[in-house]
Chains A and B, each alone.
Chain A
Amino acid sequence: MQALLRLAGWIDALNERIGQMAKWLVLICVLISAGNAVIRKAFDTSSNAFLEIQWYLFSAMFLLGAAYTLKHNEHIRIDILLSRLSPRKQAVVDILGTLLFLLPMAIAVLYFSWPVMTQMMTSGETSSDAGGLVRWPVWALIPIGFTLLILQAAAEIIKRLAFLQGLIPNPAEKHTGQIAEVIAQNLDSQPKQENKA
């Protein structure tokens, strides 16, 4: 179990770092998109590369962010019933859900996207528009993103098993959801007060 936990720790660190980098894509994409609109109007010129890079970055955002979001337990749930269960039962639900719901889909996408990507790489296919970008990097994001997601899923299972054995505190606990975060962000500009959202 200790070895597995160490592995989970590595995966956590990897996806945390990737998530920290991926979030900058948001800002870069905003600047490119706004800049593109202004330049098109002002100089009456544009390039397909600038249009395509926007959805390349968008794709990178959510594909690289998938594992990170899973790590932070922020894929949205309908927790009307779940929230009434004990933390241990919630952990069991998460383990089974990851095994039966998440992993089959992620593995299927990974399995079927691999040949497409290798084919794109060998053919060097580019966008059909003039000045468009080469396609394989964006296709490569699919297997990369889903591999990271599968790794994180494994880490989540390990952490919850360890929790059930009493080895670590509840991995789901530290994140009460994005709402608490939003509120915390707002409150820190106010005089300090206890916020137990």
Chain B
Amino acid sequence: MSPEFMAPLMFASLILFLLIGYPVAFSLSAVGLLFAVIAIELGFMPAALLQALPQQVFDIMRNDTLLAIPFFTFMGLILERSGMAEDMLETIGQLFGRIRGGLAYAVIFVGALLAATTGVVAASVISMGLISLPIMMRYGYDARVASGVIAASGTLAQIIPPSLVLIVLADQLGTSVGDMYAGALVPGLTLVLLYVLYVFIVTVVRPSAAPALPPEARTLREDNGSSGTPSLLALLAVSIVAGVAYDQFHYAATDRPMDERIIVSALIGIAIAFGAAVVNRVTKMGLLSRAAEKVVFVMVPPLMLIFLVLGTIFLGVATPTEGGAMGAAGAIILAMIKGKLNLDLTRQAMNSTLKLTTFVVFILIGARVFRIAFIGVDGDAWVEHLFDSLPGGVVGFLVVVNILVFVLAFFLDFFEIAFIIVPLLAPIAAKLGIDLVWFGVMLGVNMQTSFMHPPFGFALFYLRSVAPKSIKTTDIYWGAIPFVIIQILMVALVIAFPKLVTHALHGPAAESTQTTEEVLQSLPQDTPEQTEGDGGAALMEGSGATLPAGAEPEPDPAAALLEEAGKSP
């Protein structure tokens, strides 16, 4: 058999093996082993390569970035049961409920906040399905609009930092997690705006599809019947003024980085609002309306968690992995304060985390075995050749890749795409001079659809399982479609305007005193003890922070290994 046949044959076998339905991790490694043996027999590949299998496992073991997977999963599971989402949905729903489409806006808002707290999808979709969906249905929302908004808002966790998707993509692309977070921030928030815009259009075109709450359903109000919103707005204004004033006063003469100023000032503002609410509650002075007090109390936990995770990462106190651990610890404390923490819940959360971590890491192990053999049969060259003949250069490549990933996402889990497909595409993207952070964020937005497109999207699946019987499955499917289209639009926006992502990395902000980029760069210096050179600890590499377009990605561990093995007889 000629070697040119091997790579396509191997890829075809992969599809076949995966479709058999045996666990992906082992099917992957089976294809890898089979072709490694064939290639060794035919003399394409050095036999020593198989001996490197344990080293591949070991590389994954000491990958500090992947450690974030159990941390964020555990955090998500604890948070899901802490009642935080429920409190937010009820209060924010009341707050926004009186305007048309208000409940839908509340779902998007809470979805975005939850997304900024944790990195996993399931939690928010289920809470919103259980709490908001019945209310929306009771007050006359269109089933499709309601279920679509909930499923889509739940998937925001995939793109808004600290997303697990971004961590895994950073690991596979060899970029820094901090860069991916910084780059994904604007596209993530743009998506939130697009969702809001969609709901707004619905309320204009079909007002009956997303009505306001009727007066009798608005329970969060003053004794005299007024809504108490002015009080809330006043408190908000006071907090903002306090934060800005602190910033001006305290940082006036210093040149502290912008991130730090924003984070610290925001903390001051939140502290003041919280202080006012506590005083109001304790003294029963009635300075604040009920709505204002309630909103402050439900907003503080998520904001504190966001600070614990993202704040510490952007301040350089914690690595993204440690940020996950901080968030998990914070979620435990929150659940404890709310009296929701018990041994049973902890056990369940640890159990699910253990199993999820295990299957994800084993898919990665399988993917590595596959990859060694695939490189051995010159698969990379074959894939590159496939893309060679594409018209349109970089844009052509990106369009084709995105269509490919979009279609694959119907069949493959996010992790499978990240571990199998992304390593094939990354070298080509790097060669074409594509910024890998930009590329990664683009894929992140794209893969978000894999959670919401019918019929296999996980978010839809979760939603179906908690939705009332009155909502037809087809309603859930149809409801998701506008959001899938928004998602595609967003991918197109990211392709058309790379600045959406790259501004945070090497944008015009460069002339200001110290930029995000420098803060991110300073991270490695804060943690000099972590310099063991772990292949995957991309954050520690420092170089990632200023990755110029066209820079080589971190060397593929499998490729490096192959090279090494090739040298030794």
Contact = CB atoms under 8 A, between A and B. Distances in A.
Interface of A: 19, 22-27, 29-34, 36-38, 40-41, 46-48, 51, 54-55, 58-59, 61-63, 65-66, 68-70, 72, 74-83, 90, 93-94, 97-98, 100-102, 104-105, 108-109, 112-113, 116, 127-129, 138-139, 141-142, 178-183, 185-187, 189-190, 195, 197
Nearest to B22: A97
A75 B326 CA distance: 28
Given A55-B64, A65-B358, A112-B53, A77 B21 contact: yes
A183 B463 CA distance: 10
A55 B321 CA distance: 11
Interface in B41-61: 50-55, 57-58, 61
A182 B22 CA distance: 22
B33 interface: yes
A23 B353 contact: yes
Contacts of A138: 61
Contact of B126 (A93, A105, A186): A186
Given A81-B19, A102-B23, A112-B52, 18 more contacts: A30-B328, A30-B329, A31-B329, A37-B317, A55-B62, A58-B70, A65-B354, A68-B354, A76-B415, A77-B24, A78-B24, A83-B21, A182-B122, A183-B126, A183-B465, A183-B466, A185-B81, A186-B127
Which 10 interchain pairs have the tightest Cβ spacing?
A: A82-B21, A97-B22, A33-B325, A75-B23, A113-B54, A101-B30, A59-B61, A65-B358, A23-B350, A37-B322
B22 A101 contact: yes
Contact of A37 (B58, B325, B358, B529): B325
Contacts of A62: 357-358, 361-362
Interface in B504-537: 527, 529-532
Given A55-B61, A182-B462, A79 B71 contact: no
A104 B53 contact: no
B559 interface: no
Contacts of A93: 20-22
B453 to A, nearest CB: 15
A100 B16 CA distance: 14
Contact of A69 (B30, B67, B359, B462): B359
A189 B81 contact: yes
B462 A97 contact: no
Main SS class of interface, B = helix
A141 B51 CA distance: 17
Given A62-B357, A100-B30, A139-B58, A76 B462 contact: no
Contacts of B322: 33-34, 36-37
A37 B19 CA distance: 43
30 contacts: A22-B354, A23-B354, A26-B354, A30-B332, A34-B325, A34-B328, A48-B529, A54-B67, A55-B62, A61-B357, A62-B362, A65-B357, A70-B23, A75-B26, A76-B413, A77-B23, A78-B411, A80-B411, A81-B19, A97-B26, A101-B30, A102-B30, A105-B26, A105-B33, A127-B532, A129-B531, A182-B122, A183-B465, A185-B348, A186-B126
Contact of A128 (B61, B126, B412, B532): B532
Contact of B22 (A29, A61, A94, A189): A94
B352 interface: yes
B402 to A, nearest CB: 22
Nearest to A56: B61
Contact of A104 (B30, B64, B318, B349): B30
A101 B17 contact: yes
Interface in B485-500: none
Interface residues of B, number: 82
Q: Which of the listed residues A24, A76, A102, A116 has the most CB atoms from chain B within 10 Å of its own CB?
A: A76
A77 B22 contact: yes
A112 B54 CA distance: 7
Interface string B66-86: 110011001000001100000
A59 B382 CA distance: 34
A93 B350 CA distance: 30
Interface in B1-32: 17-27, 29-30
A186 B22 contact: no
Nearest to A195: B465
Contacts of A34: 322, 325-326, 328-329
A76 B466 contact: no
A182 B50 contact: no
Max chain A Cβ within 10 angstroms of own Cβ: one of B332, B349, B350, B466? B350
B306 interface: no
B347 interface: yes
B356 interface: yes
Interface in B78-129: 80-81, 122, 126-127
A130 B165 CA distance: 33
Given A55-B62, A100-B30, A78 B355 contact: no
Contact of B18 (A61, A78, A128, A141): A78
A36 B67 CA distance: 14
Contacts of A68: 354-355, 358
B262 to A, nearest CB: 19
A134 to B, nearest CB: 14
A83 B127 CA distance: 28
Most interface-central of B58, B122, B347, B531 (chain A CB within 10 A): B58
B219 interface: no
A192 to B, nearest CB: 14
B411 to A, nearest CB: 6
A141 B355 CA distance: 17
A141 B27 CA distance: 23
A57 to B, nearest CB: 9
B126 A182 contact: yes
Nearest to B19: A81
A182 B23 contact: no
Contacts of A31: 325, 329
B153 interface: no
Interface string B359-374: 1011100100100000
B158 interface: no
B176 interface: no
B80 A78 contact: no
Nearest to A63: B61
B66 A58 contact: yes
A166 B375 CA distance: 45
Given A62-B362, A93-B22, A104-B30, A178 B352 contact: yes
A109 B54 contact: yes
